[in-house]
Amino acid sequence: MRRFYRGVFIVLVALRYGLDELVLTSFQKPWLRVLARIVSVGRKLDAPRGQRLREALESLGPIFVKFGQVLSTRRDLLPADIADELAWLQDRVPPFDSRIAIATIERAFRRPVGEVFVDFDPTPVASASIAQVHFATLREPGGAIREVAVKVLRPGMRNVIDKDLELMAMVAAWVGNLSSDAKRLKPREVVAEFDKYLHDELDLVREAANAAQLRRNMTQLDLVMIPEMFWDFCHPEVIVMERMKGVPIAQLDRLRTAGVDIPKLARDGVTIFFTQVFRDGFFHADMHPGNIQVSLEPATFGRYISLDFGIVGTLTESDKEYLAQNFAAFFRRDYKRVAELHLESGWVPGGTRIDELEAAIRTVCEPYFDRPLKEISLGMVLMRLFQTSRRFHVEIQPQLVLLQKTLLNIEGLGRQLDPELDLWHTARPFLEKWMSDQIGPRKLLEQLRAEAPRYAKLLPQLPRLMHDFLENRPADHRRELLELLAAQKRTNRLLQAIIYGGIGFVLGLLAMQVLVRVRLF
């Protein structure tokens, strides 16, 4: 019944804000526009459409707000007025009462807020779907005063999210039972993955740990700054971090006036993303403009400032390898290799014809090479790839859903920063270097160094292990092993003969040259 009531509430909110009328008017069919006017009779829908959509998403809760945040970055897919309104969802969701924030802080640290902070500003500086942020000053154990940002979890978030996720799981079960094609999309697994990430975001200590890991990973890159966490003041409902001073990346005019190189900023963003994904397998998965600033301080001028680490994505070594090889082959326009990788990874059924899959991938991807970002819609590319995947029964990989969402965010951000950015040209050198590192001598030495302790322990035991094996194994296995050892000896003798023969041949040539020179003189 709880899911039923939540579904009814969603429908009522949609009707209240006229979302049905908004959808119908987006079509070009005259009869649908007439229907939109009919269904809007008796409802006061004089507010702008973007405002109505934003307010409806705010009313429906954090999951819908996050959906609006993703949409706000896709100005290539949305009218400008709607994209501008949805941008408010990035960090300007209506805040909750600051008295509740103070009560949460005092409950978390078990003392009055005046004893925790030297100064605390009750007016929030940013408010999003899950939490809001206040500025404060903190006295460290050594006596130093630090400017900090205090992030406080919104009250009652878990219940709201649980209701929406239950409804999504129910719908996913229905969709999964519709057909075999629907099962290929793995809706239940995708919702389960979404469930995990959202519940992780409700634990602010986990967010602080994510930030610490990203900060370590990005230290040597010198392109992005991540705030330091104050672990003595981190709680599941409250975290205290270093205050970062920067300009929101959406304020491009202000950044240009300050002298920031915007095209370089776009290229740096691509480098940061690919470094986190392919080098570290640990990436910021909520990279909308509300979470990104740019430093104007002289020592760090032009660097990114990354915020809000509640959602991060992780990739296994296998995922990273297959993705990197796919990207590298794609940049070389080696569509056959892309098709082979899909087959090797098990993403397509074993009986799939490589030549047909290769031709389909070429048809989708070839038109988009050597074109600036303003002429490419990654959303359209993904849509066409989705249609191709349906034809070839490609299984959706739930662990890559966050990566796909983040890639769409990155493309939307890059489009705003530099429409002339060549995404492929910028990313290709990085991926080729990564591939070289993965299969080159350096990687081999790293693997040998990592395995050396195990080998050092194992080698002295080999004679005993061989003796035990020969004594304890059945006669047939022993005979096979002896035959194998005999064959190995024959091979060794053959190799020795080849090597000695080669050495003899070279020495013979040298001797002949010496004799010739002696005769000449």
Tokens for 250, please give them: 């959406």
DSSP letter, residue 386: H
C-alpha to C-alpha distance for 129 and 429, rounded to whole angstroms? 37
**Residue 355 annotated in active site:** no
Query: Do 418 and 262 form a contact (C-beta atoms < 8 A)?
Result: yes
* CA-closest candidate to residue 193, choices 159, 168, 176: 168
* CA-closest candidate to residue 335, choices 380, 373, 282, 388: 388
Q: Active-site residue among 76, 286, 308, 418?
A: 286
Estimate to the nearest angstrom the gap between the alpha carbon of 130 and the chain centroid.
20
C-alpha to C-alpha distance for 95 and 128, rounded to whole angstroms? 8
* CA-closest candidate to residue 354, choices 369, 344, 367: 344
Tokens for 434, please give them: 């990564």
Pairing of strands 238-242, 145-153: antiparallel
Which stretches does DSSP call E strand in 194-325? Answer: 224-225, 229-235, 238-242, 247-248, 282-284, 292-294, 304-306, 312-314
C-alpha to C-alpha distance for 434 and 279, rounded to whole angstroms? 7
C-alpha to C-alpha distance for 455 and 444, rounded to whole angstroms? 15
Query: Do 167 and 175 form a contact (C-beta atoms < 8 A)?
Result: no
Neighbours of 352 (CB within 10 A): 15
C-alpha to C-alpha distance for 279 and 449, rounded to whole angstroms? 19
C-alpha to C-alpha distance for 72 and 248, rounded to whole angstroms? 15
Crossing angle of helices 317-331 and 335-344, rounded to 10°: 160
Query: Do 485 and 493 form a contact (C-beta atoms < 8 A)?
Result: no
Neighbours of 459 (CB within 10 A): 9
C-alpha to C-alpha distance for 174 and 165, rounded to whole angstroms? 14
* CA-closest candidate to residue 246, choices 303, 330, 176: 303
Total residues belonging to the chain: 521
Tokens for 369, please give them: 């090479």
Burial 383-400, CB ≥16 within 10 A → b, else e: ebbeebbeebebbbbbeb
CA atoms within 13 A on the CB side of 430: 20
Helix ranges (DSSP H) in 17-152: 19-25, 30-39, 49-60, 62-72, 80-86, 98-109, 113-116
* CA-closest candidate to residue 218, choices 328, 309, 311, 288: 309
Query: Do 240 and 138 form a contact (C-beta atoms < 8 A)?
Result: yes
Residues with a catalytic annotation lie at 286
